[in-house]
Every structure is written in structure tokens, then in C-alpha cells.
Amino acid sequence: MNICLFDEKEINSPLKANDERAKHIIKILHKSKGDSFDAGIINGKAGIATIEDISASGEISFSFEEKSDGKPLYPLTLIIGFPRPIQLRRLLRDVAGLGASKIILTGTELGEKSYMNSNDVKDGAAEKMLLDGTVQAASTHVPQLILVQTLKEAVELTNGANVVKCALDNRRAKKSLGTFLSEEICGGEKPVVAAIGSERGWTERERDFLESYGYTLCSMGKRVLRTESATTVASSIILDRMGFLD
């Protein structure tokens, strides 16, 4: 836990002893009265929390001093075909850590329909993974997560002007992702939307549809990657080309 995050209502209230954050502060960070730790408000300010008191039961009273607006999210939107639930958890955590601003999970023609009804989406586990990735990155800003049923819905949500659009594909790719980005991106000035298919990839109809909306089909070599791996690798390449990993 590289930063301890609170929502607005929690920031002025004691942290209960059974809260995982309290356990981490005392047992892992070995903090005591008078010590400070990195803290922030979810989707808000980052700063320093100072422990004012620790009760006999382990409840932590603390004060919070704002220091900055927190690390900004990057102008990268990811359209992702629903992966297996176990992949989804890792994918969301890693993408949040990298700092993408928006993740749109969508059904695809070849995607497994049952994945969209996974409890990982319904019971709040997806939001928890995004929060875990944000904490790992010592950030306060959590990517927006949107769920849609169809690729058409996902694409129409991101169909703005002056946007760089690419879709990963290992069958009909026009060029490599790196080459495409070098041609299209100028210092991160344009937002990027990247579409990554589900584990069986895109159908020919989906490829045609993406191209009709201005997406360039791009490859990342000859190897076939899992959706979670492709998402992490593509995000890293894009953010690097945008100049955010310098």
C-alpha cells in the first residue's frame, strides 16, 4: 500500500481497528502516534496524514494535510472485450496502476457471454481492483469503468474529433502499433482510444466496423497474447509514445 486512500466522508473520522488500512498502518508500516503516512482522497487531493492517537482497541485518529492535486490520469481510453473473470481482476489493477483514464468493458461477437454476468463486476470487486491499482501507483485518481453490451455502444462513447484510434489485431493489421503511434501521436496532445478484443479476437464484421469508425488495425508482433497481457503491453507502448513514461 503506497498510499492510504479515503473517501470524503472518512477523511475526518477515526479509522476503525478492523479496517484493512488501519491494520496495514500499524502492522506493516509500524506507525505510531505522531508518525505520518502518505494519504489521499479518492479522486481528489493527495497529502500527508498524521496520527493523532491510537486507542487501546487499535482505532486510529488522524489529521490530513493536502499537498497536491494527485497524479493525473492519462488521456487513454481502453475498449476491452470482456475477459475471463480471473484475468479481469489482474487487468483492471494493472491498467489503473498505469494511469489510463477510462476502461470500457464490452461484449463482442466471439466473447463468452457469461463473463459479462460475472460476480466480479456485480459485487464491487472490479472497483476494488481499480482502487488497488491506484494505491499501488501512489495515486488518488481512479480510472472510470463503463460496462456496455456491444462494441457499437463502446465505439460510439468514444467517437470524438481529434482522437487517435487503434485496434489490436493479429490477422488484418495494417502496421505495427509502434509504427502507427509514431506517425499519429505528437507529445501526448491527442487522446488515444485503443480497442482490444476478447480472448477469441475480432470477427471480420467487427474489423470492418472498427475501420469504418476510423480505427487502424495494429499488431504487436506475431505472438498471440491473452487479453490481459495485450492490454498491459499496449497501454505501456501507447503511454510511452505519448511521452508519459519519460
Please report the DSSP string for the chain in residue order: --SEEE-TTTTTSPBPTTSHHHHIIIIIS---TT-EEEEEETTS-EEEEEEEEE-TT--EEEEEEEEES-PPPEEEEEEEE---HHHHHHHHHHHHHHTEEEEEEE--SSS-GGGGG-HHHHTSHHHHHHHHHHHHTT--PPPEEEEESSHHHHHHHT--SS-EEEEE-SSS-SEEHHHHHHHH-STT-S-EEEEE--TT---HHHHHHHHHTTPEEEE--SSPPPHHHHHHHHHHHHHHHTTTT-
pLDDT value for 152: 96
What torsion do the CA atoms of 83, 86, 90, 95 make, to the nearest 10 degrees? 20
Tens-digit pLDDT profile for residues 191-214: 999 999 998 899 999 999 999 999
Parent domain of 11: 4-68
Which of 19, 38, 68 is the last residue in one of the domains?
A: 68
Of residues 12 and 155, more confidence is placed in 155
Judgement on whether residues 157 and 110 belong to the same structural domain of the protein:
yes
pLDDT digits (tens, 9 = 90+) for 108-162: 998 888 877 776 676 788 899 999 999 999 999 999 999 999 999 999 999 877 8
Give the tens place of pLDDT for each residue, 75-107.
999 999 999 888 899 999 999 999 999 999 999
Three cell numbers, residue 9: 466522508
pLDDT tops 70 at residue 186:
no
Residue appearing with cell numbers 491473452: 226
Cross-strand bridge partners of residue 216: 166
pLDDT band at 189 (very low <50, low <70, confident <90, very high): confident
The CATH code of the domain that includes 52 is: 2.40.240.20
Mean pLDDT of the 44-73 span: 96
Q: What is the overall mean pLDDT for the chain? A: 93
The segment with the largest mean pLDDT, out of 30-44, 170-184, 189-203, is 30-44
Whether 200 and 111 have beta carbons less than 8 Å apart is answered as yes
Q: Is the pLDDT of residue 228 over 80?
A: yes
How many domains does one find in the chain?
2
Shared-domain flag, residues 105 and 205? yes
- Alpha-carbon distance of 186 to 11, in angstroms, equals 40
Whole-number pLDDT of residue 188? 64
Residues 20 and 87 in one domain: no
- 36 in any annotated domain: yes
Whether residues 100 and 167 share a domain: the answer is yes
Distance linking the first and last C-alpha atoms of the chain = 24
Quote the CA–CA distance of 20 and 157 in Å, as a whole number: 36
Rounded to 10°, the helix 227-241/177-184 angle is 30
Is it the case that residue 7 has pLDDT exceeding 70? yes
Q: Are residues 221 and 148 in the same domain?
A: yes
* Any domain includes 37: yes
- Residue 183 clears pLDDT 80, i.e. is over it: yes
Same domain, 103 and 130: yes
- Residue 148 and residue 226 in one domain: yes
